[in-house]
Amino acid sequence: MLLEGPVLEVAPLLLGATLRHGEVACRLTEVEAYDGPDDPGSHAYRGRTPRNAVMFGPAGHLYVYFTYGMHFCCNVVCGPEGRARAVLLRAGEIVDGADRARARRPAARVDRDLARGPARLCQALGIDREQNGHDLSAPPLTLELGTPAVSVRTGPRVGLREAADRPWRFWLPDDPSVSTYRPATVRPRRTS
């Protein structure tokens, strides 16, 4: 199975794949790789927890997490079972069910912004904690791999403090749905 390969090989192969949840489908245009215990940017860097358990396999399942107290983000688990590897789905183009995606994302002023960013992608597709651990070969939430992209760009991951410089973000060049690169910012701690 393709998704059982190394995370840095699987990640660019997900570009152009279609993630469908019910009536809404998204063509993936940007992803980021996370390599478990070998990657300080990974949720699994310090080992298995109840939150990250899905990352440990099997491949082809969805790892969904809640971040900043308000957003869901999703990853495709890859690699061999027992080894925590996953690919964050950062952005995509809604290719089916745009009316439903617009209803879920009323703040999007243009269609390219419906799934532009990992939290927006989840919101447009109606993905939340209920889908954590879902087998992506089983409807209503499926991943259909397409023909590998001919041209792929790579660069640093977005918003990380640890291992941000690794060029493990992959995207389709010149695609308007790809999110804007923003490095992490260090916020001062509150003192009260």
Tell me the residue type at 191. Answer: T
Residue with tokens 């390969």: 5
Q: Please give the chain's pLDDT, 192 residues, in tens.
A: 689 999 999 999 999 999 999 999 999 999 999 999 999 999 999 999 999 999 999 999 999 999 877 899 999 999 999 999 999 999 999 999 999 999 999 999 999 999 999 999 999 999 999 999 999 999 999 999 988 888 999 999 998 888 988 999 999 999 999 988 777 666 666 665
Query: In terms of Cα–Cα distance, which of 3, 31, 1 is closest to 15?
Result: 31
How far apart are the two ends of the chain, measured CA to CA in Å?
Answer: 53
What length is written for the chain?
A: 192
The full set of domains in the chain, from first to last, is 2-171 (3.10.300.10)
pLDDT of res. 126:
98
Burial class (CB in 10 A: 0-12, 13-18, 19+), 156: middle
pLDDT of res. 69:
78
**Contact (CB, 8 A) for 85 and 38:** no
pLDDT of res. 161:
85
pTM listed for this prediction: 0.93
pLDDT of res. 58:
96
DSSP characters for 4-65? Answer: GS-HHHHHHHTTT-EEEETTEEEEEEEEEEE-GGG-TTSTTTT---TTTGGGGS-TTBEEEE
pLDDT of res. 186:
60
